[in-house]
Chains A and B, each alone.
Chain A
Amino acid sequence: MGQISKRRSSVSFDYSAMSFTPPSDPVNRKSEIKVSQLCELCHCRKALLRRPKNLQKVCKLCFFHVFETEIHNTIVSNKLFHRGEKVAVGASGGKDSTVLAYILKLLNERHDYGIEIILLSIDEGIIGYRDDSLATVKRNQVQYNLPLEIVSYRDLYNWTMDEIVACAGVRNSCTYCGVFRRQALDRGAAKLGIAHVVTGHNADDMAETVLMNIFRGDVARLEKSTAIITQSTGSPIKRSKPFKYSYQKEIVLYAHYKKLDYFSTECSYAPEAFRGTARELMKNLEMQRPSCILDIIHSGENLVLKPKRQKKISPSEVMEVRSDGAVSLGRPSKFVDGNTCERCGYLSSNKICKACILLEGLERNRAKMTLDTDTSTGGAARLTRELERLTF
């Protein structure tokens, strides 16, 4: 018993070291196994962990089996792939995308999906974070024998994330990161002639998004927040989330028991405070009822808006950079087929795409910054004031 709990408590590992040594398994002395210690699924091996999803006591092999099968079921029942499809895994070196790359390769071979998997990595240019994680992706490339392609923010936008943060403030980094990363993956994929990008978004992310959309009253996103496949009309790139129903804790456990090599540090720019409160709420709910992550997703899948009374004409996409540099992105009422950004030629429902609008703000600001360097009157405060005037 003591052995089980010890194993369980050591779930998070630090694999940040550049060289990788897999953890070793404890030696199982089978003769001493009591019936009460057996796996609740196979009844023939010692239970090693409690599944975070339903608290079932299971052995390692059964855990692998159910975890993998659930993802396979998700892929099949949602028809995520078709034979001959080229699929890019958005690889960050983090646990979600590492496990995703590993599992897709495994399932592709086991169930003969007939897909071609490519690792696609974005170098945002965050010193200390991306350096190490890119090294992890490069090791994954060798370990899983999958092709790797790296696209950098510098190449795409002429800005690194560190420069963006210096310019727009830490608090807004996730907005910028989100818009840029999303495009970067799509552009990278397009460049490689790949029409499908899979990402490691897991059930916890999904559930959190459902709650956040309700807390923020983000009606435009409410209905689609749990969609497993997203694709703008007319866009050549399809995105999907095979981990939609996989618990974060199980992904970590899987990576651990499979001794996968991943980079454990999360993005050094922490989520904004309000999202933090939702995360805390989720933690409390999951403690009370483990199934609630799936329950929330199920609810999210069934949230629909009342038919609108024909009163207001919905405004076309509005984007605004607020006084604190935060960005609110309006939603296009309808994606107009085949529209492209005037500046970069990337698909966009508006004349100018989100990334280009953000870039314009940044560029103006960079000009201000260089002008302001000699005036010592409070750089940060000044910067904020300058950002206040940025409206589009």
Chain B
Amino acid sequence: MVVQDVCKRCRQGQVSVLSRKEPFCNDCFSKFVSAKQRKQMMCEPYCQDVFKVLYQDKVRSEAESVEQNAHSKVLVPLSFGSSSVVLLDILNDTLTEQKETQRGKTGFHIDVLVCGRDQDDIVRYREMADRLLSERYASNREKIKFHFLSVESFYKDCGGELDTILVDSADFSSRSIVENGELNREFGVEDLLKQCPDRSSRQDLLTILSSRLIKKFAYQNKHKIILWGHSMTKLADETISLVVKGRGSQIASMLSIDECDPLFDNSFKNLYPLQDVLLSEIDAYCYIKHLDPFMIDYIPQDTLLVEKQRNPELVSAPRSVKNLTLNEIARKYFDDVEADYSNVISTVVRTALKLGEPETPKPERCSICRANVHMDPSEYLQTITVSENHPIETTEESALYDKWNESQFSNQKIENTTLRDSIPQKAVSTSLCYGCLINVNRMKGRKLTWPQHSKSELETILDAFEL
């Protein structure tokens, strides 16, 4: 490959990155990425008010501007992958800049939320957070706080009872039973994951429950905006994955910036500041800014760097498609077509941003993911997936049927299917969205245990600790 020596933007820096067919030097590339994030942060008035340093003006008094600056809290969910670390780093740069240009004032402060699966996770995350704070954010320490939360809070701090949701294999109807005390106390995320048939559904449920936790945390701590780290690439594969999981109608609400989150009393907005930046660009940014030592379980790709990293771990063994999750298959697709059809990723995201929600008068909400249910998925599935059999025709067949009826196979079947007969009074019909119905239908025993949704669930304080 012929590489130009001099950066096209400043005409002096040495070229270190090739992105979107343009050669960049380190400085210009950093500016390029950071400008894209800042543009999103200023994309509309609500966000501007949160991030800007406000002063007395026509609409607010001096006291009000001070008050507003102090209450402009944003939440950054941090996974220690490249995107969320870069997002946080650019926010830190923004704070530093504001202090320099606004005589020590800043327009906002940051709470970072780290969710861990278990205690080991939390210990590792905490150490890394310590390093970040002391090595990179020392000068803005008073503006950045880290919080740690175990995903187990999802069940532990749900403030009420658990429901077990069951799907009938014959007619795809869904019902729920309130669980008794014992299961309420003991059921945990690991129990849930054990019921999953594959990595895809584990990932799906983990995404739903951690997003619920993060949003609940933002609601309880009065954050104005959640800043999600998603790159353009991640948004593209999330979009396709939602389509593939039958959750197409949920894309619009995931990406909505026009309104505050209606599921949490409209108390915050969801923002994707890196939505215009490719993952490969974020990864390149990590190396240029020396953020790569702050990743956990993630190695940034060096595809856009002129000087490759020579990290042996970068060349990971190709995984067989069979073991990939749906999200990973979508990601692999974008990786594969990026070279030949370079704008597919941005086209998908642009298209996703144009989507709205179907208009359904008073839609019910899904008992699991809380999405609006626009059409009854059980009726739909019943029509197109028939489970009625061809009748018994011969005496031979009748004999075989009797043989089956007496075997243990028939017991299994009855346990799984005839919900209506086995749990007559306690079970009540419950609403599921198509995607969740498909998920539960594939779980062991076609059931899933989930916290009931209620005011008390939302208000029960999450047991997070602060650094």
Contacts and interface: CB of A to CB of B under 8 A. Distances in A.
A56 B385 CA distance: 11
B93 to A, nearest CB: 33
A53 interface: yes
A291 B438 contact: yes
A214 B409 contact: no
Nearest to B242: A299
B390 A61 contact: yes
Contacts of B386: 65-66, 69-70, 73
Q: How large is the interface on A (under 10, 10 to 19, 20 to 34, 35 or more residues)?
A: 35 or more
A42 interface: yes
A69 B384 CA distance: 9
Chain B binding surface, main DSSP class:
helix
Interface in B386-438: 386-393, 396-398, 400-401, 403-405, 407, 409-410, 434-435, 438
Contacts of B38: none
Which of B337, B389, B391, B397 has most A Cβ within 10 Å?
Answer: B389
Nearest to A73: B383
B210 to A, nearest CB: 22
Contacts of B200: 288-289
A215 B249 CA distance: 17
A212 B42 CA distance: 33
Contact of A295 (B325, B390, B392, B438): B438
Given A299-B242, A306-B356, A289 B384 contact: no
B439 to A, nearest CB: 10
Interface in B231-277: 239-240, 242-249, 251-252
B333 interface: yes
Given A277-B333, A277-B337, A287-B322, A54 B385 contact: yes
B407 A302 contact: no
A298 to B, nearest CB: 4
Given A216-B347, A284-B321, A295-B244, A44 B388 contact: no
B326 interface: yes
Contacts of A77: 383
Contacts of B198: 288
B341 interface: yes
Nearest to A38: B404
B329 interface: yes
Contacts of A274: 341
B244 A296 contact: yes
Given A35-B409, A295-B438, A217 B350 contact: yes
State the 8 A-B residue pairs at the shortest beta-carbon distance, nearest first: A299-B248, A295-B246, A306-B356, A42-B389, A302-B249, A44-B401, A41-B389, A44-B397
25 contacts: A35-B407, A41-B389, A42-B390, A42-B392, A44-B392, A45-B397, A65-B388, A66-B386, A66-B387, A211-B240, A214-B351, A217-B350, A217-B351, A219-B354, A281-B330, A284-B329, A285-B244, A287-B322, A295-B434, A298-B377, A300-B243, A304-B357, A305-B355, A306-B252, A307-B356
Given A30-B400, A288-B321, 11 more contacts: A42-B390, A61-B393, A70-B386, A284-B329, A287-B322, A295-B245, A299-B246, A300-B243, A302-B248, A305-B354, A306-B356
